[in-house]
Amino acid sequence: MENNYNNINSVYALMDCNQFYVSCERAFNPFLENKPVGVLSNNDGCLVALSPELKAMGITRGMPGFKVKEMLQKQGKYVYLFSSNYELYGDMSSRVMKIARDTAIDIEIYSIDEAFLLLDGIQPFNSYTQYAETLRTKIKKSTGIPVSIGIAKTKTLAKIANKIAKKTKSGVFDLTTLSEDEIHKLLKSVKVEDIWGIGRQHNKRLRKNGIYTAYDFINCNQEWVKKEMSIVGEKTQLELKGIPCSELEKEIPNPKSIVCSRSFGRPVTQYIELAESISLFCTKAIKRLRKKNHVAKTLHIFITTNPFNSGSQYANFTQANLINYSAYTPDFIKLAISLLEKIYKPGYAYKKSGVMITNMIPEDRIYPDLFYSRYGDDNRDKVMKLVDKINKQYDKDIIFFASNGIKKSWSMKREMISSRFTTRWTELPIVKAK
């Protein structure tokens, strides 16, 4: 393995916010404490975050919101469901991450609610456990978000330690204090599908071969693992044995693709509505592209009917390249509409559409072309940046493309959304004095 440059003495922590979305809702609404609370995906679709009280009712992640309501109503139980409020969650996440960054040696922000921390050499704590407990208290006090922290010699083991930490009262679990025998004993209680990097397919294959626990897995033949699960599986196995194969990724790598897609709030049959949605998703995707200071060349679009319906089905996707790299929204909208004309078929009830941008490079790596001025040399990027600035200032898209539509009656549903307490002046929480 090429892990000779990985420090074998490193110590990693995985910090994970407990039921993050639910915790964000509770942070601004203490009434929800100890009550069954759930947060739904976009379009008020499936449950993506559940409070322990809701889990205790037998509800699981991924269940459709309407089914949950139905089920619990029959049992005479009440549940507090929320639409997802990504603006709030994103802002709460940066607050939590900032505190972690300020105290750890180094940090890799892994997702909206998770971060790996590098801990070896941390001062002035007596133990990693003591550090983690201090961090946990600090985050809870300043943001209201409860976190769990698992500590180990590799990231994969830290993930396992974190799962154990979630079940303890202290919310912290340190694998580095255990002997190898004790770790092995523990790995016998970890199901193979609970290992980071082992999903449904690998789980199935491993079980077929009599491998049920993390302990079984580390005792597999390494060559066999590589053959069956590629180098990714091999690294996972080594990491479980305590050999680090994955370092902290400190720098945010250049993004490779941007996707913007949504299900519609109702079936869409009109071409014009489909075109509006594609145009709007293009606008959103290219805005994100500019925010990352990138330009792109390839655009993909797709449309699909509802696979859960019994009616006639149609789905199609296609892609095309711009002549030149660009971050100029109209370039993409024009191309997108011409692509849609090619794949659109009348007579279907469409459920979802989307766009994807690939072939992305940083803005400053673009070379001038003989025949086309480069993005940035003309006024087009200045216009786009001005539009971005104005829209940001006004907290909403007051300048938009007519092709995005005005009524947008096909938009996704978000009927149970909480306020954006921390990012909009008009939605600040109100504290009443007695």
Pick 122 or 235: Cβ nearer DNA: 235
Side-by-side strand order, sheet with 12-17: 106-111, 114-118, 12-17, 147-152, 172-174
Query: Is 96 a residue that touches DNA (CB under 7 A)?
Result: no
Pick 113 or 273: Cβ nearer DNA: 113
Q: Which of 288, 334, 374, 408 binds DNA (CB under 7 A)?
A: 288
Query: Is 155 a residue that touches DNA (CB under 7 A)?
Result: no
Pick 86 or 127: Cβ nearer DNA: 86
Give every CB contact of residue 163 below 8 A, 6+ residues apart in sequence.
150, 190, 194
List Cα–Cα distances, 272 to 258, 278, 339, 404, in angstroms: 24, 10, 14, 10
Is there a contact between 12 and 155 (Cβ–Cβ < 8 Å)?
yes
364 closest CA partner among 292, 284, 282, 259: 292
315, amino acid identity: A
Is there a contact between 155 and 197 (Cβ–Cβ < 8 Å)?
no
> Considering only residues 370-399, where is the footprint of DNA by CB under 7 A?
none
Cis previous bond, 307, omega within 30: no
Stretch that binds DNA, among 106-114, 134-142, 238-246, 371-379 (CB under 7 A): 106-114
Pick 100 or 122: Cβ nearer DNA: 100
Q: Which of 94, 257, 373, 409 binds DNA (CB under 7 A)?
A: 257
Is there a contact between 120 and 128 (Cβ–Cβ < 8 Å)?
no
Pick 27 or 68: Cβ nearer DNA: 68
- Cβ neighbours, 10 Å, residue 44: 21
Stretch that binds DNA, among 92-100, 184-192, 201-209, 401-409 (CB under 7 A): 201-209
274 closest CA partner among 172, 404, 396, 391: 404
Count of residues near DNA by CB under 7 A: 47
Pick 125 or 317: Cβ nearer DNA: 317
Query: Is 90 a residue that touches DNA (CB under 7 A)?
Result: no
Query: Is 42 a residue that touches DNA (CB under 7 A)?
Result: yes
User: Least distance from C-beta 34 to DNA, angstroms?
Assistant: 24
Q: Which of 15, 22, 48, 387 binds DNA (CB under 7 A)?
A: 48
Stretch that binds DNA, among 117-125, 168-176, 192-200, 323-331 (CB under 7 A): 192-200
Is there a contact between 300 and 355 (Cβ–Cβ < 8 Å)?
yes
Query: Is 354 a residue that touches DNA (CB under 7 A)?
Result: yes
User: Least distance from C-beta 380 to DNA, angstroms?
Assistant: 23
Is there a contact between 300 and 272 (Cβ–Cβ < 8 Å)?
no
Is there a contact between 37 and 25 (Cβ–Cβ < 8 Å)?
yes
Is there a contact between 38 and 64 (Cβ–Cβ < 8 Å)?
no
Interface contacts to DNA, rule CB under 7 A: 41-43, 45-46, 48, 62, 64, 66, 70, 110-114, 159, 195-203, 230-232, 253, 255-263, 267, 288, 306, 308-309, 351-352, 354, 412
